[in-house]
Each structure stands twice: as C-alpha cells, then as structure tokens.
Amino acid sequence: MECSILQTNIEKRGLVFDPRTKLLLLLTMATFVLGGAGQKIGLGRLVFSSISSCLCVLPFVLLLASKKKKVAFTYAVLYLVMLCVFIFVTPITKGLLNFLILGTAGIITRFLPSIVLGAYVVSSTTVSEFTAAMLRMHVSEKLIIPLSVMFRFFPTVGDEFQSINLAMRMRGIGFGGKNVGKMLEYRLIPLLSCSVKIGEELSAAALTRGLGGNVKRTNVCEIGFQIQDILLILLCGAAFFLLILSTFGML
C-alpha cells in the first residue's frame, strides 16, 4: 500500500534538506504566496509575481525529489487547472457565478502551495531531526516539546482515520451504505478518542526522548547545511532582500 503524504519514510526520502532550511522555505512561501507580499502596481508586481510563481513550482520539485510522484503530479494538475480557471474563466463570468469561481480558484491557488509544502516538510522530517534543529537554534524546550508532539500528531491521526474508514466500509457504513445517519457518529467518536490517546502517548514519547530534563540532551541524527540547502537559502534570502528594497521604495 502506498504511504500517505504525511508519513515519514527515511529510506525513500530522496534529496535530504536540513529542517531549518525547510522552516525558512515555509516562512517564505507563507509570506509571498499566501500573504501576497510586495505584489503592488509597477515593476514590483512583476518581480514578486515571478518570485511567487517560482515558489509555487518548488513543492512539485521537492515532491518529485522525495519520490512522491503521484502526489506531485496531482498537485501540479490541480494547481494549473485552478490557475487557468482564475485567469481565463473569471473575466468572462459575472454576478454570483463570478464570485464563486473567483473565490474558489483564488483560495486554492493561494493556499494549496503552502499546504502541500507543509505536508512535504512533515513527511520528510523525523522528530529527532526537528528536535536537533530546534536545539541548534537555541529554542526553549518549553516550545520544542509541544511542537515535536504536534509534528507527529497529525500523521498519526491521519493513519487512524484511514483505519476507521476501512473498518466502517467493511460494515457498510458510508455515503453509499444503508446507515448514512450513523456515518458521522461511528467515525468522529472513535477519532476523537484516538486523538486524545495519541496526544498522551506522543507527549510521553517526547519526555522519554529526554526533552524537559535538567541534563543537556544529545542527538544521534546528523543535520547540517549542504549544497541544496545553500541554494534554497539563497533563493529565500533574495526574495526577502527584494521585499526590503520594495518597502523602502528602491524597487
């Protein structure tokens, strides 16, 4: 069975990046694609639109590099379809239809790259690597513990949800079954119960790893910046540098 996009598979990660590089890339994506920073009238709009387009291509490239071809092409097709709808369909529609198409296409083209990149970061980073990166950045363990728990929480809940769906299908409970009214009850209640239990277990696992103790924690995983990290850092740095120039009216 094919692994979920949120599952971490160390053996099939492909190109490996430092967790700090991924966090910088997430910040850059949120700033320029989701936030639309710097996209004003004139030359600045052209420059930052080009930066935004390059950033939107990055999740596709990174997913291909991590050997998740199905997810990568699904993202590419969905994004391109919504982008074409936004560019070509919205100008020829009016009224409520135009509002619905513009809102749907605009939200998807803004949010989808950041969501897919976030899923890539979670699926390609282990908790040990994430913790080591946070310690290198001298982040307080009061913040590292909840973040490390949250880092594994959503993938684990996703696996539980898939298992619950399979169990419900075996019992004929679903949209196409005879017990449609019981679908939400039989799915949400087990999922909520599992979520509470998973949170407690992950918190205990984080403490077992030595987080929160009085002794300085060691880590066996190796992290560090390589040539691919330097290239991404330069890309993100150039984008923020141009944003600073635009802020002071120099672009």
Q: What is the pLDDT along the chain (251 residues), one digit of tens a residue?
A: 445 555 555 555 667 889 999 999 999 999 998 887 766 655 667 788 888 889 999 999 999 988 888 999 999 999 999 999 988 988 888 888 888 988 888 899 999 999 999 989 888 888 888 888 888 888 887 787 777 777 777 777 878 888 888 887 777 766 655 555 667 777 778 888 888 888 777 777 767 766 666 666 667 777 888 999 999 999 999 989 988 888 877 76
**Cα three-residue angle 39-114-162, rounded to 5 degrees:** 160
The torsion of the CA quartet 6, 7, 13, 16, rounded to 10 degrees, works out to 60
What are the extents of the domains in the chain? 10-126+224-247, 130-208
Q: CA 134, CA 148: separation in Å to the nearest integer?
A: 10
Q: What pLDDT digit, counting tens, does each position of 7-40 carry? A: 555 555 667 889 999 999 999 999 998 887 766 6
As given in the structure block, the two tokens for residue 212 are 């929160």
Q: Diameter of the chain by CA atoms?
A: 65
Instruction: Determine the pLDDT at residue 123.
Output: 83
Q: Within its chain, how far is the Cα of 182 from the centroid? A: 32
Residue 188 has phi, psi (to 5 degrees) of: -70, -40
The Cα–Cα gap between 251 and 242 comes to 8
Contacts of 251 (CB under 8 A, 6+ apart): 43, 44, 47, 242, 245
Confidence at residue 98, expressed as pLDDT on a 0 to 100 scale: 87
Mean residue pLDDT across the chain:
81
